[in-house]
Structure 1
Amino acid sequence: MSEIDLAPPGHLARPRRTPAKAWEEMVRGNERFVRGEPQHPRQDVERREALVGKQTPDAALFGCSDSRLAAEIIFDKGIGDLFVVRNAGQIISESVIGSLEYAVSVLDVPLIVVLGHDQCGAVLAAIESQGAEAPTLPPHIGLLISKIIPAVRRVGRSAGMLDVGLIDSQDVGREHLRDTITELLETSELISDAVAAGTLAVVGANYRLLEGQAVPDVILGMS
């Protein structure tokens, strides 16, 4: 199926935001949220009605399913502003790649934000799974966290640790975030080509639960 066939009914072209502008708006929204001064923009009846026949999101966000990572709230966005893909531990899969490629090639987003966070249950489970007496996990959970285990082992080796109880989950989370972005670019030629062409940026950020701040760790394709 061609890209034009995939376009949603009523999809309309619009002036394209640059990747830098899209990220700047995300940062400003997060700053309002951190200050406790959200504007809750574009959440009224008129906005809802205007989007019935089209969507033109400003960015795509791929993040963890954690209930504390509500993307539109964290970045003070409105209805139709973000194309959001989430799963536990922000694990790359075929459905994730397909969804993000749709956002880039059809919805024309100039920015993908990959959002991890501290105290991530999937990261903690991956660390605990490497313990000598770790219980056997349900198969699908085990498969899910298997992509986080390389980050666990790298952090453990670099710190000279044998006791998984001493491994810093935030260090693992940062390593896993970088692994996720690397896998995204290696798996999707469409996305890596857009970054190389300067039409798309990818930002990896870690969300701090207490402060409410999304702190960038990886920025690719920003001009």
Structure 2
Amino acid sequence: MSKRTVIVSGGLLEEAFVLEILKSEETEFIVAADRGLIFLYEHQILPDYIVGDFDSTPEEIVSYYRNETRVPIRKFNPVKDASDTEIALLLCLELGRKHVVILGATGNRADHLWANVQVLNLALDAGVDARILDSYNQIRLLDRGITLRREEAFGPYFSVFPLAGMVADFNILGAKYPLYHHLLTPHDSLCVSNEFAEDEVEISFPLGEVILMETRDTPKTADGMRSLFI
């Protein structure tokens, strides 16, 4: 499996967690999305690409990368039809990146988080593994079944939500709260905060798209999660 590409966006960036991911040997390509560039500048990390409208990034930082480095920069009009994170993900797809982790996609703004979750659908349609990540949460979209293994799990909890309407014949096996041939709807919280009952949990459904959130109350180091991304 190819190494990961990391998008550094402008939301919550937990310093130690983010630095460990960026400096890991499993990270081979870094894209700064607007305000995420500030974090990279402050930690003297050179990205491979910079995108955004830069309405929330000091001009002197953008000028530094423009004048003192050879990093390609794509600047967009602030009045645009896509978020900076979406633009960064589209760039990754354009460049043929196959495994993308988005940092700084969570934080105080629930609207920004939800927009970033929806943006993952671009990667899903392109057959690219893209995930939103912070030290407590890993979020990805699925259009087919998956097997979760306890020893490789991001955390002890997982939740599933339909993305684009109801999902029929939805099954969860090996979990504390199993489901059999269930009609998964957007109108209840039935599939929130499930847990492993066996060493493997199998999630299956014939059609549709779902959001899979793997969560925990106590974060691990990024190094301890290395196997999740390779």
TM-score, normalized by the shorter chain, greater than 0.5: no
Given the two structures, how large is their TM-score scaled by the length of structure 1? 0.33
Q: Which has the higher strand share?
A: 2
